[in-house]
């Protein structure tokens, strides 16, 4: 019998199926790397395809960046029982190699045959750290930001606001290298912002700076409940499909399948390729993507009652800087901030980016609805970012535009831009006063302080 090498069985099966004509090939158009949820490598989303060039009759006045760290290794954990943790995956890899999770290498055409020659790359020693791909993502984005907005870089020193976790700070450094090269040492002032309660409304880690949210476990309760339903639905069929590739004595589990999927995702994040990804089908990728989307949506995103409170402080601060464009004493033009995915989604929810998802109309946990706005793969992949641009145009008005991962997010709640058509821009006052975000733009900081019972702070950081 032929084991773990291409046998004629495959060819025979192919010939038998030859007159079973398929519809146009969906799989060849399916880019699974763009459906790995928050663990997707950086890529641009597919919105309405609006041109991201500066509007012809306008001059850029300000740019605001809210930037996620780059691709990373699995996180170190609190308990080592979290399937996504570095320790858990490290153990799982050892079990695949030492046979305590026994792959059936005698099964013909076993797609896991590669494990015989496989060298794992997830190493608990690298827990929490950026991967080399992550460093490259940030360097490249820094370089691109400078090229696009070079006219705004007329100061000497720039504040680099960053949540103080190591991988976020390192991401900010690579980005800054891309911006300024070796001059980064003289041209930057790094402001490391506490990830605990201390930062209050200055925070870039709003989950932790909001004691009422944090101390009541609102995030964990909501996401645990959502995952408990969805994972029991979508993973079971994958368990049943993959079980035959293991010895019949072994009972494959839901956590095993999740581990196989995480290894696929992290091998992509670390070395750009993974044979583990080839064991999953496009539909299975979409269902894992949904699992990641439920996490952010319920955790503090648009399903949560807390989204606009959590995101509002940043938006209030941003709005203050936008308004001050006419203030001759306010000469800042470039605003840079670095953080995590779960702090960007609440800001985007509070800006009104996910109108189809609300606490009253949540994403269902018992089925994948496929067409919904908050795809984490599109909004917060590794190195994901939200850019706010402020323009002054030939009609003597100011206009705002958002880019998500360098694509125009089409604002539709506050009129049109200077083209007079739906070009994704809004006049500044219309943007600030739209009912969707007016509470945040004018009172986001005080709402955050009150609802969160946040540590009182004077806001000293410009976003």
Binding test (CB under 6 A) with ligand NAG, winner from 155, 221, 253, 278: 221
Q: Which two tokens stand for residue 270?
A: 């670390």
| Rounded Cα–Cα distance for residues 188 and 239 (Å) | 51
Q: How many residues bind ligand NAG (CB under 6 A)?
A: 27
Question: Cα–Cα distance between 292 and 39 in angstroms, integer?
Answer: 9
Does 241 bind ligand NAG (CB under 6 A)? Our answer is no
Among the listed ranges 50-58, 68-76, 96-104, 373-381, the one in contact with ligand NAG (CB under 6 A) is 96-104
Q: Does 100 bind ligand NAG (CB under 6 A)?
A: yes
69 catalytically annotated: yes
- If binding is defined by CB under 6 A, does position 321 make contact with ligand NAG? yes
- Contact status: 91 vs ligand NAG (CB under 6 A): yes
What do you get for the CA distance between the two ends of the chain, in Å? 65
State which of residues 320, 389, 423, 427 lies at the interface with ligand NAG (CB under 6 A). 320
What are residue 192's DSSP bridge partners?
162
Q: Could you give the string, one character per residue 283-312, with x where binding to ligand NAG holds by CB under 6 A and - elsewhere?
A: -------------------------x----
Beta strand extents in 209-282 (DSSP E only): none
Compute CA 326 distance to the chain's CA centroid, rounded to the nearest angstrom.
Answer: 34
CB atoms within 10 A of CB 276: 23
3-state secondary structure of 462: coil
CA distance 308 to 437: 9
Q: How far apart are CA 166 and CA 178, in angstroms?
A: 18
Q: Which residues contact 460 (CB under 8 A, 6 or more apart)?
A: 202
Q: Which of 87, 241, 457, 461 binds ligand NAG (CB under 6 A)?
A: 457
The active-site residue out of 256, 320, 341, 423 is 341
247 touching ligand NAG, by CB under 6 A: yes
Is 276 a binding residue for ligand NAG by CB under 6 A? The answer is no
Residue number, 349 or 380, with CB nearest to ligand NAG? 349
Annotated catalytic residue, options 35, 64, 69, 402 = 69
106 binds ligand NAG (CB under 6 A): yes
- Of 57, 147, 253, 327, the residue at the interface with ligand NAG (CB under 6 A) is 327
Contacts of 221-229 with CB under 8 Å at 24 or more apart are 222/298, 222/299, 222/303, 222/304, 223/294, 223/295, 223/298, 223/299, 225/298, 225/365, 226/294, 226/295, 226/298, 226/365, 227/291, 227/294, 227/295, 229/365, 229/366
The first and second tokens of residue 158, run together, are: 């720039």
According to CB under 6 A, which one of 107, 114, 118, 372 is a site residue for ligand NAG? 107
Is 35 annotated as catalytic?
no
Q: Judge contact between 202 and 193, C-beta under 8 A.
A: yes
Rank residues 49 and 435 by Cβ distance to ligand NAG and give the closer one. Answer: 435
| CB 218, min distance to ligand NAG, A | 6
Q: Does 435 bind ligand NAG (CB under 6 A)?
A: yes
Strand 426-427 and strand 334-339: pairing? unpaired
CA distance 334 to 146: 10
Stretch that binds ligand NAG, among 98-106, 126-134, 185-193, 256-264 (CB under 6 A): 98-106
Among 12, 48, 80, 94, indicate the residue that binds ligand NAG (CB under 6 A): 94
User: Shortest Cβ distance from residue 105 to ligand NAG (Å)?
Assistant: 8
Residues in contact with ligand NAG by the rule CB under 6 A: 91, 94-95, 98, 100, 104, 106-107, 216-218, 221, 247-248, 308, 320-321, 323-324, 327, 330, 435, 439, 456-458, 462
Catalytic residues: 69, 341
């Amino acid at each position: 019998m032929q084991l773990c090498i291409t046998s004629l069985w495959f060819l025979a099966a192919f010939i038998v199926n030859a007159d079973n004509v398929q519809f146009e090939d969906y799989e060849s158009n399916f880019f699974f790397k763009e459906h790995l949820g928050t663990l997707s490598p950086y890529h641009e989303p597919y919105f309405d395809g609006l041109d991201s060039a500066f509007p012809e009759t306008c001059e850029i006045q300000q740019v605001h960046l809210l930037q996620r760290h780059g691709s990373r290794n699995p996180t170190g954990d609190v308990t080592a029982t979290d399937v996504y943790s570095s320790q858990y995956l490290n153990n799982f890899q050892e079990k695949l190699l030492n046979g305590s999770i026994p792959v059936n290498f005698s099964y013909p055409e076993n797609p896991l045959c590669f494990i015989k020659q496989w060298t794992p790359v997830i190493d608990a020693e690298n827990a929490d750290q950026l991967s080399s791909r992550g460093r490259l993502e940030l360097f490249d984005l820094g370089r691109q930001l400078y090229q696009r907005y070079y006219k705004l870089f007329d100061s000497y020193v720039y504040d680099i606001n960053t949540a103080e976790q190591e991988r976020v700070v390192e991401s900010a450094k690579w980005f800054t290298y891309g911006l300024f090269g070796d001059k980064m040492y003289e041209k930057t002032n790094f402001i490391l912002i506490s990830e605990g309660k201390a930062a209050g409304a200055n925070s870039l880690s709003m989950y932790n700076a909001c004691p009422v949210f944090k101390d009541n476990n609102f995030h964990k309760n909501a996401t645990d409940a959502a995952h408990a339903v969805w994972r029991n639905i979508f993973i079971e069929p994958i368990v049943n499909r993959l079980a035959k590739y293991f010895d019949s004595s072994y009972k494959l589990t839901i956590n095993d399948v999740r581990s196989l999927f995480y290894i696929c995702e992290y091998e992509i994040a670390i070395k750009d390729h993974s044979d583990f990804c080839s064991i999953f089908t496009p539909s299975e990728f979409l269902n894992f993507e949904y699992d990641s989307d439920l996490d952010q949506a319920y955790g503090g995103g648009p399903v949560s009652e807390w989204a606009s409170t959590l995101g509002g402080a940043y938006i209030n601060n941003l709005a203050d800087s936008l308004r001050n464009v006419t203030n001759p004493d306010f000469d800042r033009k470039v605003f840079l901030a670095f953080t995590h995915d779960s702090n960007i989604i609440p800001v985007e929810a509070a800006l009104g980016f996910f109108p189809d998802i609300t606490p009253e109309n949540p994403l269902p946990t018992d089925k994948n609805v496929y067409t919904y706005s908050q795809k984490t793969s599109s909004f917060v992949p590794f190195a994901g970012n939200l850019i706010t641009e402020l323009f002054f145009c030939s009609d003597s008005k100011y206009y705002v535009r958002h880019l998500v991962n360098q694509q125009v997010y089409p604002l539709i709640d506050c009129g049109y831009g200077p083209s007079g058509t739906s070009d994704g821009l809004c006049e500044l006052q219309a943007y600030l006063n739209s009912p969707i975000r007016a509470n945040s733009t004018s009172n986001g900081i005080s709402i955050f302080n009150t609802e969160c019972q946040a540590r009182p702070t004077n806001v000293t950081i410009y976003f």
